[in-house]
């Protein structure tokens, strides 16, 4: 055999290995790696329960800090509730640019003022002469209208001609009323119109008692309980007292 025969033999063996059948199974024997059997698919998983979606609530009213600065008288009239005596003439104004429907605001004001627990009987008109103007105002306009009283853009006031109702407070209330926005709005109107009728501020008469409506409840209740009405003991639909005509 030629001297290069062993080398050629190795080449031939390698060539034979490279041409092995690629479809052949895995090697077997003592040194072979264990074969991997295909895993049978298990039973289908049950679908996960859908997570409860959060409750969709309507967005809160976004009150601008400053609106137009100009008032518009809400058109229309509304009679005072029946009763003796001459009714108080008043009108309602809403600053242009606020996100409140003027007629709806005027209707709420009229219900509050003519509640039997309120000050008196009120007749809404849309032209003078009037004793009181109830004006829904942006915080910025409230600051200007209430000077020299410092409202900080949060309080309301009586400026000698108008009951200035801060639209931010009308929209969100105060923590003292624990989310009862309707009651707080009744307080807000009763308190500021009370100034227009000549009533001054009063303090809390004692722990646990109803706060007088002329207490500055938007600031603090002291140790009193919230109260939106001048005469809380009276029935809502009448001027006659339920348990005595006691002024808080």
Which element (helix H / strand E) includes 113?
A: helix 102-113
| Mean predicted confidence (pLDDT) in 233-248 | 56
**Domain assignment of residue 160, yes or no:** yes
- Residue of 50 and 45 predicted with greater confidence: 45
In a domain, 167, yes or no: yes
How far apart (Å, rounded) are the C-alpha atoms in residues 220 and 87?
32
CA–chain centroid gap for 99, Å, is 13
Pairing status of strand 122-124 against strand 88-95: parallel
pLDDT tens digit string along 175-218? 999 999 999 999 999 999 999 999 999 999 999 999 999 999 99
Residue 35: is its pLDDT beyond 50? Answer: no
Residue 115 within any structural domain of the chain: yes
Partners of 210 in the β-ladder? 225
Residue 57 pLDDT exceeds 60: no
Q: Which long-range contacts link 96-101 to residues 24+ away (Cβ below 8 Å)?
A: 96/67, 96/68, 96/70, 96/71, 96/72, 97/64, 97/67, 97/68, 97/138, 98/63, 98/64, 98/67, 98/136, 98/138, 98/167, 99/61, 99/62, 99/63, 99/64, 100/61, 100/136, 100/167, 100/170
Instruction: Compute how many other C-beta atoms are within 10 angstroms of the C-beta atom of residue 160.
Output: 7
Residue 59: the pLDDT is: 52
Q: Can you tell me the distance from the alpha carbon of 61 to that of 68, in angstroms, rounded to the nearest whole number?
A: 17
Number of domains making up the chain: 1
Domain, as residue range, for 83: 71-196
Strands 71-73 and 162-166: unpaired
* CB count in 10 Å sphere of residue 12: 9
84 found inside a domain: yes
| Residue where the block lists tokens 């080449």 | 11
On whether residue 232 sits in a domain, the answer given is no
Asked if the model's pLDDT at residue 248 lies above 70, the reply is no
Domain-located, residue 214? no
In a domain, 211, yes or no: no
Average per-residue pLDDT in the chain? 82
């Amino acid at each position: 055999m030629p001297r290069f025969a062993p080398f050629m033999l190795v080449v031939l063996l390698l060539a034979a290995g490279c041409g092995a059948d690629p479809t052949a199974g895995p090697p077997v024997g003592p040194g072979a790696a264990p074969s991997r059997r295909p895993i049978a698919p298990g039973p289908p998983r049950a679908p996960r329960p859908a997570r409860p979606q959060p409750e969709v609530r309507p967005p809160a009213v976004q009150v601008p800090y400053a609106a137009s600065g100009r008032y518009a008288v809400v058109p229309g009239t509304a009679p005072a509730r029946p009763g003796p005596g001459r009714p108080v003439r008043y009108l309602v104004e809403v600053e242009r640019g606020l996100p409140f429907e003027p007629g709806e605001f005027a209707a709420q004001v009229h219900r509050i003022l003519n509640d039997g627990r309120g000050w008196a009987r009120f007749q809404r008109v849309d032209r003078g002469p009037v004793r009181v103007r109830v004006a829904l105002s942006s915080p910025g306009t409230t600051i200007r209208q209430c000077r020299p009283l410092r409202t900080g853009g949060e309080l309301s006031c009586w400026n000698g001609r108008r009951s200035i109702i801060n639209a931010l407070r009308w929209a969100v209330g105060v923590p003292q009323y624990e989310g009862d926005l309707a009651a707080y709005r009744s307080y807000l109107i009763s308190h500021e119109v009370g100034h227009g009728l000549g009533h001054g501020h009063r303090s809390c008469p004692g722990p646990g008692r109803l706060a007088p409506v002329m207490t500055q409840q938007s600031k603090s209740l002291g140790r009193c309980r919230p109260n939106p009405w001048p005469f809380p003991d009276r029935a809502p639909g009448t001027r006659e007292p339920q348990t005595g005509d006691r002024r808080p």
